[in-house]
Structure 1
Amino acid sequence: MKRKRTTPPLTEADRRSQQMIVKGLREAYSKVPILSEEGEEIPYVKRKNWSMFFLVDPLDGTKEFIRRNGEFTVNIALIEAGYPVMGVIYAPVLDTFYFGKPGLGSFKLEEASRAAVADDQALIRQSTRLPVVGSDDIIHVVTSRSHMSKETEAFIGELRRDYEVDVISAGSSLKFCLVAEGVAGYYPRYAPTMEWDTAAGQAIVEAAGGTMLRYEDHERFYYNRENLKNGWFLVKRL
């Protein structure tokens, strides 16, 4: 199996998570294809006509996992016609589960491993609807703990000309979750990511009322491009 050059260093946890997720998805949704960071590289000519597929990152935040700071996640998104229509993010160390679906809303479930979930409605009843934090006079910006760029620093500098700005650092897709919760108003990402890094987070943010827009044209972010490497983007609470 040919490995992609953009893939970060693998850990045994990546492999085990990949195997468990793919097995579960294939058992439940045998006809829906899966595109995953740790999966086999699928040529664009084969996947370009997919109307629906799962986009999976079995361990997002490899650096956070290696550093043992708890800020790594498992991300699964369902993509339909190029856009995420469902996203789930689980932070195993925090035992916190985020999920979102446009039209349904976004939710956060703490102590997720202890929850008794028989169906979707039971899951929603035990969860907190997002956002949960109200607006204040301070602009809260969440940035990558591992990948700060000069462009991101410039974005923060521009905001500071007119507002009081608080900068929050977080790892993995938890940055999207902080925007969905209302803890942060902005998540600027002016550094490389891959499609599996962002799809689940985008679904959760959008279902909570936020946006994720491409830097170059301020249009909604979309997926299953020929080059799976993402361009710059801005996630905004409202």
Structure 2
Amino acid sequence: MGNEYLNVAIKASLKAGQAILKIYGQEDFGVDSKDDNSPLTLADKDSNEVINSFLTQTPFPIISEENKQAEYLVRKSWDICWIVDPLDGTKEFIKRNGEFTVNIALVKNGKPSLGVIYVPVTGELYYADVEEGKAYKATVNYDISVDAVFGKSEMLVLNDAVNDKIIRVVGSRSHMTDDTLEFIGNLKSEYPGLETEIVSKGSSLKFCLVAEGKADVYPRFAPTMEWDTAAGQAICEAVGLKVITKDTGKPMLYNKENLLNSYFVVRK
């Protein structure tokens, strides 16, 4: 795609995936608990080290779930920065269901510019350049060259056709809230006569379901952090989807003072 930073992000994600799989093959993941009681494994740490080794060679600072965060007084001057989740879906990793990802996004003036999501277990790689309006998917090994990735990629194209029988709603395996159930009820009122089907996936793969056309809408009315969503938003926006916050009705922004996201909806 001719974007040097996208190339760096793809390479970093593949090498991070390799580090994750080394831990995934072990019996002991080295599970600890963070301050918020969420799990942290050796794979999170190793993946983060690998990604940092690549991204620190670029001119841009990094916001990563596993890095110590800079104060907002410093961050607010960052026009461009990386936003990284070295292992999104640690709970899925511990369950060994394969539905965990590496997320890397480059954000410019609060908006995702490019994004990469890599699924180490399946080798699925999603990447996008939002400014070009192009997103791609490839299935690759972690030791492939970036040039070879491009040769194996297929463009993701949003299907504008509407299924006249069913609306597929992405629902989290762990976060089906009352607000989400209310949203689904409102969909039934908005589209009378249509059935709703819940499609479940872990981690940032929920964004990918909509970008691939395997689901129609993704409401997330449970807490997420910026590193959970930036790469997924880049991929969705590149194919023409919108990621809209519930409180403002506008696209979700990044490198905010508070890195906690508002509730949001992904849809056409």
Q: What is the TM-score with the length of structure 1 in the denominator?
A: 0.91
* Structure 1 residue 135: Cα displacement: 4.0
Q: In the aligned structure 2, how far is the partner of 1:135 from the partner of 1:222?
A: 29
- Where in structure 2 are the equivalents of 1:43-82 lying within 5 Å? 43-82=71-110
Instruction: Determine helix, strand or coil for the equivalent of 1:165.
Output: strand
1:2-47 alpha-carbon deviations (Å, 9 max, x no partner): x9744722100000000000001113x1x21001000012111111
- Where in structure 2 are the equivalents of 1:190-205 lying within 5 Å? 190-205=221-236
Q: Matched residue pairs, number?
A: 230
1:123-142 alpha-carbon deviations (Å, 9 max, x no partner): 33421111376642221111
1:107 to 126, 130, 136: 136
1:178-229 alpha-carbon deviations (Å, 9 max, x no partner): 1110111100000100000000000000001101001012101101111111
Q: In the aligned structure 2, how far is the partner of 1:32 from the partner of 1:124?
A: 24
Aligned position for 1:17: 47
Structure 1: which 4+ aligned runs deviate by more than 6 Å? Answer: none
Aligned-residue RMSD, C-alpha: 1.8
Contact 2:133 2:237 in 1 (8 A): no
Q: In the aligned structure 2, how far is the partner of 1:111 from the partner of 1:139?
A: 31
Q: In the aligned structure 2, how far is the partner of 1:22 from the partner of 1:57?
A: 11
Is structure 2 residue 115 aligned with structure 1 residue 128? no
Contact 2:34 2:40 in 1 (8 A): no
1:143 to 160, 171, 185: 171
Instruction: Determine helix, strand or coil for the equivalent of 2:112.
Output: strand
AA aligned opposite 2:163: D
Greater share of strand:
1
Unaligned runs of 5+ in 1: none
Q: In the aligned structure 1, how far is the partner of 2:173 from the partner of 2:65?
A: 21
Is structure 2 residue 183 aligned with structure 1 residue 176? no
Contact 1:7 1:37 in 2 (8 A): no
Q: In the aligned structure 1, how far is the partner of 2:141 from the partner of 2:216?
A: 26
Percentage of identical aligned residues: 49
2:180 to 152, 175, 197: 152
Unaligned runs of 5+ in 2: 1-32
AA aligned opposite 2:48: Q
Instruction: Determine helix, strand or coil for the equivalent of 2:121.
Output: coil
